[in-house]
Structure 1
Amino acid sequence: MAGLLALLGIANDPGRADRLLIVALCDAALALIALLVPWDRLHPNAPALAGLGGFGVLGLSTWSFGGIAAGTGPFLVLLYAWAALHFPRWLLAAYALPATLAYVVPLIITGQSPMVIGSAFILMPAALAIAFLIEAQARGLREDRARLARIEQWRTAMINTLAHDVRAPLSTVRVVLEELRESSTGQHARMLDAGLRQTARIARLADSLLDVHRIDSSGELKLDRAHHPAHALVKDALSYVRDDADVRADVDEDVTLYVDRQRFEQILLNLITNALRYGAPPVIVRVVRAGAYHRLEVRDHGPGIPETLRPRLFGQFAAEGAQGVGLGLWIVRQFAAAHGGEAAAEAREPGVAMVVTFPVPES
């Protein structure tokens, strides 16, 4: 940019065309060198040497314009701002001497008045103060980014550990329960069936943890979609709900959904869990056709959703606290989007209906 401005200056001041051309060539040479040097192989502070070259060209520019420093000051501040984004504070302080010389020496050579030369005592401290402010903000952002990277690394390790380490012992438990179920009858058989259903649910929860990680890291989620009777899907999902919960299903037996069975079940269970936890019974589950979509509705009869929570309802950690970590509705929204649908909350009197849509496939 400085080189282009020097070329434009030739049209404004043809008498100094040769000097301005030299300045433009020096700027271009400095830019080319800075572009070609493999800085990533050198010390992290090595690019600061390019700043020294920049100060030298600025001094040459001031001399070329006959001691007019109107264009030098802004570029000095710009160089300091660039340095503040990348280098430590001590290096910014070390820049003070070459920056001052680049500003003052051309003024002295061209015979400027003491008042003009004295402007360095205002410009240099101001440029250094701006640089220190930018450096402090940039350093804080770098530290925050490093801390977030460590948290993300820990979270990824925790999710992978939970998901994988839960599966191995759970497989053993399931095999034992299946063996016992084959030789059991009556009350014992019903208890073992309940245990098998819950172990299957825990396994699905482990898979969901991995899904959360995949969605968060890559934004992609693979689905295993097929046509399933909606009535059977809802009935199977409700088998995991505690017996004393007031949950009712209103689903026509002729409705067929084109969904990933496991993800649909997770959506429904998350919505029912939220309705029982934050709402009030009865909880009504409905599946209806609405144009090009099927609508899954889970309605409770509680106090509804607080206005302060509505904007972030389907976000991560929206309602974390003693009752949960706030990932349930976020997972619901991600699974709905993966199916090509949406998740939304609709007000009811009383309560609220959580609605998830699923596209109806073409014939």
Structure 2
Amino acid sequence: MASFRTTASRKGDTLRAAHQAGLLFLLSAVLSLVATTTIPDRQDPLLLLAATDLAVAVVIFLLPWHRWPAGTTAALAVVAWTVIGGSTWAIGGIGSGAGSGAFFVLAFAWLGLHHSRRIILANAPVAASAYFVALVLSDATRQSLMGTVVVISFAVSIGLIIEGRVRRLKAAREVIAEEQRWRAALMATLAHDVRSPLTTIHGVLEIIGEDADLPAHLQPLVAAAARQTSRLATLASTLLDLERVEGGKLVLDWQDVDLEELSHQVVELLGSTGLSIDVESGLTVCADPARLQQMVVNLVTNAQRHGEPPVVIGARSLGDGVEISVRDHGPGVPVVDRPRLFQRLNRTDDNPESVGLGLWIVRLLAQAHGGDVVHRPADPGSTFVITLPGRSLLTPAPPHELLDSLSRGNHSYR
């Protein structure tokens, strides 16, 4: 899975580098056309240069860069030096400073964004030669010829500075990615190791609870302990589900789920204090019942932890799907925290019970069902809403698309 994401990222980088180069050639074409109005005596070479820039830009946008290895776009630099040199000649050396010189800086900045220091340095003498020859052909002054050293040195320096910054940012990103992989592996290992003893404990508690000689005052305690061990086992299974998503192996057990019955199961699991149900009778949805229950449990737990009672579990038909909501009547989510509500392992407060996984898991599972979850401010409190499609509209997201979407930070979780 990591290999897939790395390959896709490299292809995307190559495509972005090519398209940025194409935009630079388009800019050169536009400026060449503008120059025809200010330098009428050089109109013909400027028109030829504009046509060349435009043709190169079109070719760049049409070529299948995503099929080629990273670094292929470095060849565009040679084309750039030729075109910029032609521009310098076309305007008779007049633009050696603000015109062509600026494009040399832009081109080396582009190299710094997408290519290595070695490639930047290798292009320096080629760019200098193209610039120098163009100035000679345009009968530039000796002072302009000497300015080649200054312009190219400045452009190369800009490219090297940008390359250094990009290299450090990439290294920092790799460190963060490695930490995330380590955390994910740690969670999966812990979940796997914890699930077996929890299953044993749950079985023992059920046997104790069925003992007729168990004192009456201990029966609710044993039942509560059994419910909570079951909940922990479900959480462990959910963490293992995340590992399956990363491996592209998440499989949902599709069934028709009665949402009223599911809501009562959640209330029984978490305790009825401060909880109420507002669900259309007979409303069903096609989903994985265990994972749908986990989503609602996470939302209710979040509401109990961060909001105030009453916490209302609701559900209604949308015609082409269903909407499941959990609302609390607390102070609500501060505006500053909303953009990062659903970020993995990111806590929006100092609550020691919050680890920053609950709502991240909710959206991950909702999207695996072809739906989503959003936060809606209420007055007072907050409402979190899961939207799931009807059976005829089910289009579960492929695991790799799910993971890529989340890793880009397009969604927020708490």
Q: Provide TM-score, normalisation by structure 1.
A: 0.69
Q: 1:248 aligns with which of 250, 265, 275?
A: 275
Q: Distance in 1 between matches of 2:81 and 2:277?
A: 80
Offset from partner CA, 1:232-260 (integer Å, 9 cap, x none): 32222223325xx7223335694342243
Offset from partner CA, 1:57-111 (integer Å, 9 cap, x none): 6899699979859697566546534542455547645654554344336655886
Q: Distance in 1 between matches of 2:142 and 2:178?
A: 55
Aligned in 2, Cα 1:232/1:141: closer, same or farther, shift over 3 Å?
Answer: same
Q: 2:300 aligns with which of 243, 249, 272?
A: 272
Quote how far apart the aligned CAs of 1:145 are.
2.8
Q: Distance in 1 between matches of 2:331 and 2:92?
A: 74
Offset from partner CA, 1:184-231 (integer Å, 9 cap, x none): 64345554433332222112101222334555786x964323234434
CA RMSD of aligned residues (A): 4.8
Q: Which amino acid aligns with 2:290?
A: Q
Quote how far apart the aligned CAs of 1:278 are.
1.5
Q: 1:150 aligns with which of 178, 184, 196?
A: 178
The aligned runs of 1:153-232 (5 Å cut-off) are 153-181=181-209, 183=211, 185-187=213-215, 190-213=220-243, 222-232=251-261
State the match for 2:5 in structure 1: none
Contact 1:177 1:192 in 2 (8 A): yes
Aligned in 2, Cα 1:178/1:347: closer, same or farther, shift over 3 Å?
Answer: closer
Q: Which amino acid aligns with 1:239?
A: E
Aligned in 2, Cα 1:56/1:195: closer, same or farther, shift over 3 Å?
Answer: closer
The aligned runs of 1:41-80 (5 Å cut-off) are 73=101, 76-77=104-105, 80=108
SS in structure 2 opposite 1:246?
coil
Structure 2 residues not aligned, in runs of 5+: 1-21, 30-42, 50-55, 393-414
Q: Which amino acid aligns with 1:173?
A: I
Contact 1:197 1:240 in 2 (8 A): yes
Aligned in 2, Cα 1:294/1:74: closer, same or farther, shift over 3 Å?
Answer: closer
Q: Provide TM-score, normalisation by structure 2.
A: 0.61
Q: Which amino acid aligns with 1:328?
A: G
Q: 2:379 aligns with which of 320, 334, 348?
A: 348
SS in structure 2 opposite 1:249?
strand
Aligned length: 335
Aligned in 2, Cα 1:186/1:285: closer, same or farther, shift over 3 Å?
Answer: farther
Aligned in 2, Cα 1:168/1:256: closer, same or farther, shift over 3 Å?
Answer: same
State the match for 1:260 in structure 2: 288
Offset from partner CA, 1:28-53 (integer Å, 9 cap, x none): xxx9xxx9xxx97xxx99998x6997
Contact 2:371 2:386 in 1 (8 A): no
Contact 1:336 1:356 in 2 (8 A): yes
SS in structure 1 opposite 2:291?
helix
Q: Distance in 2 between matches of 1:160 and 1:119?
A: 61
Q: Which amino acid aligns with 2:254?
A: R
Q: Distance in 2 between matches of 1:254 and 1:51?
A: 65
Contact 1:339 1:358 in 2 (8 A): yes
State the match for 2:355 in structure 1: 325
Q: Pick which of 337-346 and 141-150 moved more.
A: 337-346
Structure number with bigger Rg:
1
SS in structure 1 opposite 2:336?
coil
Q: Distance in 2 between matches of 1:229 and 1:157?
A: 35
Quote how far apart the aligned CAs of 1:179 are.
5.0
Quote how far apart the aligned CAs of 1:275 are.
2.0
Contact 2:84 2:131 in 1 (8 A): yes
Q: Distance in 2 between matches of 1:194 and 1:267?
A: 21
Q: Pick which of 80-89 and 144-153 moved more.
A: 80-89
Q: Distance in 2 between matches of 1:311 and 1:341?
A: 16
The aligned runs of 1:84-99 (5 Å cut-off) are 84-85=112-113, 88-89=116-117, 92=120, 96-97=124-125, 99=127
Quote how far apart the aligned CAs of 1:127 are.
1.1
Quote how far apart the aligned CAs of 1:277 are.
1.3
